[in-house]
Amino acid sequence: MMRYERVRRSFAPLCLAALLTGCGQVESLLVMNGDATSGSGSSKTNFADSRSLTGGKSSGLSKEEDPVVFLESAAAYAESQREYETAAKHWANLASLHPDNMNYIRKLAVSLRILGRHEDAERVLLQALREQPNNIDLSEEMAKTLIASGRLRDGVVLIEKVAALPNVDRARTARLHSATGVAFDRAEKHAEAQAQYRMALQAQPHNASALNNLGLSYAMSGQLDLAEKTLRQALVSPTAGTQVRQNLAMVLSLKGRTDEARRLVSRDLPPTLANQTLGFYGSIADQPDAWRDAAAQ
């Protein structure tokens, strides 16, 4: 158990290295769907008490001229900079101005989830779902929040409920199955996870997130050749981010192909961080159980 805990702690620099420029798409190394993992926060966000606006570039509009446009622009900019604490404050302020706008509330919940503040995200979503119990976007985000918080069974049940609704489009179907796969991978049920990712790919054959997750699932189940093949498929997807390239580098390093892994890592990271990343890959190469366990977390 101590060995696993050491690996989990040391996995943080790996996530930083692998996701430095593609951080907007992950839950650990597994992608939920276009969101990021950015560490955890401890402060509370309240609809009525979140007026702190950050610096950063704005559209030139002042708060007095159009507070909604200003806040939307500031929130979007904060998200682009992966400053999710700031983004959460902006979305909360917008939700306080327009409490009936469920999109603001959903975006607030997303930011809170990415920050690791799952209880806050769930509280926000529960309040909104009382008003709009049939809102599919809120239900989907609630399912992802439950999965991210470790309540895998509850999250999967809710995802299956949403997926069974009529007129669910292909993009949402792919997201839902991929999120279900993440839940199964975290429970170390890799065969079930892989089946979910394949269902996601049936809906969207070139979905980079589903391909990325399938490749990592193969890696966690010890199928490194399949992992490499699948991550290479993900890499040519039009929506692939740098995370896919870094995950492929990790798999190549685990297979002993350090030079090729170094070339991939160096495309996104400065030399010092690239060397640290490769050093970490090497340190876990002989501990497959440990790194699989860490990746699933």
Dihedral of CA 199/200/202/206: which sign?
negative
Helical ranges in 27-116 per DSSP H = 67-80, 84-97, 102-114
Cβ atoms of residues 180 and 156 within 8 Å: yes
Cβ atoms of residues 45 and 120 within 8 Å: yes
Count the residues in the chain: 297
Q: Which two tokens stand for residue 273?
A: 């961080």
The per-residue pLDDT for 110 is 96
Give helix then strand counts, H and E, for the chain: 15, 0
Q: Which two tokens stand for residue 208?
A: 């980079």
The per-residue pLDDT for 129 is 96
The per-residue pLDDT for 120 is 96
The residues pairing with 30 across neighbouring beta strands, listed in sequence order, are: 27
Dihedral of CA 87/132/183/250: which sign?
negative
Cβ partners under 8 Å of residue 20, min gap 6: 242, 268, 269, 273
Tell me the C-alpha distance between 28 and 47, whole Å: 28
Short-list 246, 238, 206, CA closest to 21: 246
DSSP state of 204: S
- pLDDT (tens place) for every residue of the chain, 297 residues total: 333 333 333 333 333 333 222 222 334 566 666 554 333 343 344 443 333 333 444 444 444 557 899 999 999 999 988 899 999 999 999 999 999 999 999 999 999 999 999 999 999 999 999 999 999 999 999 999 998 898 989 999 999 899 888 889 999 999 999 999 999 998 889 999 999 999 999 999 999 999 999 999 999 998 999 999 999 999 988 888 788 888 898 899 888 888 888 888 788 777 877 777 777 776 665 565 555 554 544
Q: Which two tokens stand for residue 16?
A: 């930083």
What letters, b where the CB count within 10 A reaches 16 and e where it falls short, cover 71-87?
bbbbbebbbeebbbbbb
DSSP state of 65: T
Cβ atoms of residues 228 and 252 within 8 Å: yes
The per-residue pLDDT for 65 is 58
What pTM does this model have?
A: 0.69
Cβ neighbourhood burial of 90 (10 Å; 0-12, 13-18, 19+): buried
Tell me whether the CATH fold assigned to 41-168 matches the one assigned to 170-234.
Answer: yes
For domain 41-168, the CATH class is mainly alpha
CA 182 centroid distance within chain: 10
CATH 1.25.40.10 fits 170-234, yes or no: yes
Tell me the C-alpha distance between 161 and 194, whole Å: 20
The per-residue pLDDT for 243 is 83
Write down the domain spans for the chain: 1-22+241-297, 41-168, 170-234
Cβ partners under 8 Å of residue 146, min gap 6: 122, 152, 154, 155, 158
DSSP state of 30: B
